[in-house]
Amino acid sequence: MARLALYILGFVEIQEEIVTKKRGKLHELPWRPRAGDIIVSNWSSWVDVLWLAYRFDPIFVMPVFEEPKLSTVNVDPSPASYRPGRSKGSGVPSPSRLQATTSRSAVKGFRQMSLFSMIWATGHTPDRLTSNSVSQLKKLRQSAERPVVVFPECTTSNGRGLLRFVDVFEGARVPTKELQVFIMCIRYDPPTPQRPSPSHPIASPSLNPLPHLFTLLSPLSLQPMSVRMLPPSESPSSDLFLASEVAVDLTMDSLSEVCAVLMARIGKMKGVRFGWEDKVAFLDFYWRRRK
Cis previous bond, 84, omega within 30:
no
Residue 171: predicted pLDDT: 83
DSSP code at position 198: -
Predicted confidence band of residue 69 (pLDDT cuts 50, 70, 90): low
Strand positions, DSSP E, 132-245: 148-150, 161-162, 181-188, 225-229
- As a whole number, mean pLDDT of residues 193-216 equals 95
Predicted confidence band of residue 172 (pLDDT cuts 50, 70, 90): confident
Sign of the CA dihedral 276, 280, 285, 291?
Answer: positive
Alpha carbons 150 and 48: distance in angstroms, whole number: 12
Predicted confidence band of residue 30 (pLDDT cuts 50, 70, 90): confident
The region that residue 53 occupies, defined by phi over 0 for left and psi between -120 and 50 for alpha, beta otherwise, is alpha
Helix (H) or strand (E) holding 73: strand 69-75
Alpha carbons 27 and 16: distance in angstroms, whole number: 15
Residue of higher predicted confidence among 24 and 81: 24
- As a whole number, mean pLDDT of residues 45-49 equals 98
Alpha carbons 95 and 74: distance in angstroms, whole number: 11
- As a whole number, mean pLDDT of residues 85-105 equals 43
Which range is most confident: 29-33, 38-42, 190-194, 231-235?
Answer: 38-42
Please name which of 167, 149, 156, 97 lies closest in space to residue 125, comparing C-alpha atoms: 156
Residue of higher predicted confidence among 24 and 166: 166
Residue 21: predicted pLDDT: 77
For residue 67, pLDDT beyond 70: yes
Residue 104: predicted pLDDT: 75
Helix (H) or strand (E) holding 15: strand 14-18
Sign of the CA dihedral 171, 173, 178, 182?
Answer: positive
Residue 102: predicted pLDDT: 52
Predicted confidence band of residue 29 (pLDDT cuts 50, 70, 90): low
Residue 290: predicted pLDDT: 84
Residue 291: predicted pLDDT: 72
DSSP code at position 77: S
- As a whole number, mean pLDDT of residues 76-94 equals 40
For residue 77, pLDDT beyond 80: no
Predicted confidence band of residue 24 (pLDDT cuts 50, 70, 90): low
Q: How far is CA 281 from CA 127, 191, 285, in A?
A: 12, 26, 6
DSSP-assigned letters across all residues of 102-160: EEE--EEEEEEE-HHHHHHHTTS-GGG---S--B-HHHHHHH-SS-EEE-TT-S---SS
- Of 126-140, 185-199, 271-285, the one with minimum mean pLDDT is 126-140
Q: List, in order, residues 6 or more apart from 119 with CB less than 8 Å away.
A: 46, 49, 50, 209
Please name which of 45, 65, 138, 52 lies closest in space to residue 107, comparing C-alpha atoms: 65
Residue of higher predicted confidence among 115 and 289: 115
This prediction's pTM: 0.86
For residue 260, pLDDT beyond 50: yes
Beta strands at 225-229 and 181-188: parallel, antiparallel or unpaired: antiparallel
Q: How far is CA 37 from CA 7, 173, 183, 238, in A?
A: 28, 16, 11, 13
Residue of higher predicted confidence among 79 and 111: 111
Report yes or no: 167 and 228 within 8 Å, Cβ to Cβ.
Answer: no
For residue 271, pLDDT beyond 60: yes
Helix (H) or strand (E) holding 100: strand 98-104
DSSP code at position 95: T
Q: What is the pLDDT of residues 147-159, one digit of tens each?
A: 999 999 999 999 9
Residue 169: predicted pLDDT: 94
Residue 37, CA atoms < 13 Å, CB-side half-sphere: 18
For residue 278, pLDDT beyond 90: yes
